[in-house]
Structure 1
């Protein structure tokens, strides 16, 4: 464990690790310090000079990103002198920057915009006719657009590709104010994590082709969740909006910092998986492939549970622990079998040694905790002996639909699984992954709680609410 020393920041005493970077301490303590080039995942670079601070005993201001902490340091991040130094540095950044904030997709999330407003440059001293112009709207690959004029040359994107993905597609070309970010000839930006450069970019130089001009960020609401694209369970922010006369819609996923799971990043496939959430939704309950209403659906489920004794529940590994527990309890009342058999959700070509896991489900570890069998022999035996099969968000039968021949089938899905639904006696729409709250266990056995803030887009609600209705009917009726 590193030695702890006493330092003073803006008159407040605090402890910090000796030798650690000053900027990390300031960021961890939520002390405002402007910076472009520094990022905790990428380390120090020292090229933007925006993180200047005053340190008592030093002749001149120092950059916090390259200053190791020593005992007794007295640091000032505020004050007329140091703020003037930072204003002068910021003015150099603004000399060649285009005045296009109203049309920039980064507006509302731009650090240059924020620092400009703090600094109060309301009168320009720059002759706009002498600005250096660069190329705009360049598709550099992997859903990323580059506007070189907006770039502040922080080199975060370059360091991400060289230090994190080890693919080195980006570099700084030319010198002085003619410098710009670019790809090497014949090598577009192309790696499974490429879109992270959009999050890393502090300005509007790198933007997402997928999100570009879809929404203004100040109209969006956000909540914390996890990505359900694989068992890694990367932490994300879900940005959504319910426009007038429309359903609540997700517009993007962004990685959220969790140093124990995904650090600051996520893979591109997980980032773009929000499209799966919005598209192909199953919203109307079906009885023998004909549309029906909610009360009629619940009544018919109850009738099937009452008249069938050999019942098998087939669960998805994307269900929450709470949903699995409720279904287990219901199955226990019915003396039914429960399986989580779903070998089709493994993809060995997807996994890597970073953030992508070959198990493309969010909660398979919960099967072991709740003692739900995934054994193939159990599944085959139970399915053979079952007269009623209840499928909850498990798409295994899409490629094995013949296994349901001569069975009565009740299916519950948030999205349309055409073959399974067509072969169901009763098909029930349920809330999707991001419309419900619950607990999930990732591949490293870390439990994570998701509290959804999205408005439900289906008439029957969550699996839990459906089960509670059935339990109430069971207690009042007879099985």
Structure 2
């Protein structure tokens, strides 16, 4: 460790580390465009200039290693003048079109511009114009005039995805980011360049002109598109006279799981969440009152006592699985979780995407829940009622020869509802809390609970009503039941914020 002085404040930092890393770690605001923790230094924007005592001229913090006793100034007349001049160069050819820019409200250039106060241009010649609305491919749109040439996007495709679709074309103030001739931005992580872009040069075709960011409410969640379980932000908003809508997923930093990135498939999977609110409780295909449908489920369970099978979906949370297990013991219900479409060998890669498309399939063996096809076939022979929980693939069990009563508890129905006895909607992934175990054994808690417009109950609430207790929250399940499981010994609900890891 080393001791340095920054604006009169003594800090203990890592000797040899980059100065910008330690400044940001200690919440010292240092303007920067080209530096990014996942991409490292580049040194081309020059915005992170600081004064270092003993140096003849200002130095860039992103390429300055820390030494013992350094005295640094990030503020002052001299360094402020340097930063102002650099920012003015960035703004010379910028269109200053914040009122129509998707990045407005999240733009680093806009923030620095407002801090410095460069409200009038001193440019006496016309601005150099670039192309507008350039479709790079993979849902990414480029506005060349807004680009500050930080090259984050170029370095992402070169060093992270290793696909190298992007580069810098031409020289001087005619330099632009573009794809190589005849090629398109096409890798499965391409939309991360939108998050990396510090200005509004790269925008998402999916989110473009959909919603101003200052209207959005943000919650933390876990992506359920595959077993990686990437940490994400869910941005949502309810317009007057309209439904609550999710407008985008964004990656949330988690060094243990996904770092700064998510795949495009997971990013765009929010559309399913918006579609999931469009159906109601159904009894033999006819719309029913939600409460009556709940009562129908209880009557079915009592009528077929000892001859019922619960077929669980692999996207249920850990808490939901444990509560369903308790219900199964009380009503002498068989349990199985066979899911033939859970694995997709064409989806995974060596970065973040997994062939295991479940959000929580790793919990089944830990909880002792049978996942075998043989176990399902045997259970179907004895069952008079099959209740699909967290899934709706009734076609699969019918193809296995089952032709008796079927009930479905799900957030998305994929069957002709007249074919089943009951469909009871339940809150979807972003509308309920839950813990999920990812492919590497990390337990993550998703706290995202967006209000359901159709008042769909959570599975925990449905099970609690049948059991006649009040255990309806994840914390209550951890405190009341999960501590009994040996594999979860030593893990409390409060510790989930640290993303604990278990042995699979």
TM-score band (shorter)?
A: over 0.9
* Contact persistence 1:282–1:414 (CA under 8 A): no
**Secondary structure of the corresponding residue to residue 237 of structure 1:** strand
The question of 1:192 aligning with 2:188 is answered yes
Relative to structure 1, is the Cα distance of residues 276 and 207 closer, same or farther in structure 2, using a 3 angstrom cutoff? same
The question of 1:221 aligning with 2:220 is answered no
C-alpha distance in 2, partners of 1:96/1:298?
62
Structure 1 residue 9: deviation in Å? 1.9
Question: What pairs with 1:60-209 in structure 2 (closer than 5 Å)?
Answer: 60-127=57-124, 129-209=125-205
C-alpha distance in 2, partners of 1:434/1:266?
17
C-alpha distance in 2, partners of 1:60/1:353?
45
Structure 1 residue 399: deviation in Å? 4.3
296-305 vs 246-255, which moves further: 296-305
Match of 1:476 in 2: none
C-alpha distance in 1, partners of 2:455/2:102?
35
**Secondary structure of the corresponding residue to residue 433 of structure 1:** coil
Relative to structure 1, is the Cα distance of residues 274 and 108 closer, same or farther in structure 2, using a 3 angstrom cutoff? same
Match of 2:43 in 1: 46
The question of 1:256 aligning with 2:252 is answered yes
Match of 1:311 in 2: 308
Structure 1 residue 12: deviation in Å? 2.1
Per-residue deviation, residues 258-283 of structure 1 (Å, max 9, x unmatched):
11111111111111111111125453
The question of 1:412 aligning with 2:399 is answered no
Match of 1:295 in 2: 291
Match of 1:434 in 2: 430
Match of 1:57 in 2: 54
* Contact persistence 1:223–1:239 (CA under 8 A): yes
Structure 1 residue 113: deviation in Å? 0.5
**Secondary structure of the corresponding residue to residue 379 of structure 1:** helix
* Contact persistence 1:286–1:426 (CA under 8 A): yes
* Counterpart among 319, 322, 341 of residue 319 in structure 2: 322
* Contact persistence 1:398–1:417 (CA under 8 A): no
C-alpha distance in 2, partners of 1:9/1:418?
64
Which runs of at least 4 in structure 1 moved beyond 6 Å after TM superposition? none
Match of 1:448 in 2: 444
The question of 1:11 aligning with 2:8 is answered yes
Match of 1:397 in 2: 394
Where does the alignment leave 5 or more consecutive residues of structure 2 unmatched? 470-504
**Secondary structure of the corresponding residue to residue 70 of structure 1:** coil
* Contact persistence 2:102–2:209 (CA under 8 A): yes
**Secondary structure of the corresponding residue to residue 383 of structure 2:** coil
C-alpha distance in 2, partners of 1:299/1:454?
25
The question of 1:468 aligning with 2:464 is answered yes
Q: TM-score, normalised by structure 2?
A: 0.90
The question of 1:361 aligning with 2:353 is answered no
Per-residue deviation, residues 101-125 of structure 1 (Å, max 9, x unmatched):
1111111111110000000112321
273-282 vs 458-467, which moves further: 273-282
**Secondary structure of the corresponding residue to residue 327 of structure 1:** helix
* Counterpart among 265, 272, 277 of residue 273 in structure 2: 277
* Contact persistence 2:392–2:412 (CA under 8 A): no
C-alpha distance in 2, partners of 1:233/1:283?
27
**Secondary structure of the corresponding residue to residue 114 of structure 1:** helix
C-alpha distance in 1, partners of 2:371/2:53?
64
C-alpha distance in 1, partners of 2:103/2:357?
32
Relative to structure 1, is the Cα distance of residues 54 and 329 closer, same or farther in structure 2, using a 3 angstrom cutoff? same
Per-residue deviation, residues 371-398 of structure 1 (Å, max 9, x unmatched):
1111221111112211111101224434
Per-residue deviation, residues 310-359 of structure 1 (Å, max 9, x unmatched):
11111111011111111111001011111111121210110000000001
Would you say how many aligned residue pairs link Structure 1 and Structure 2?
Answer: 468
Match of 1:348 in 2: 345
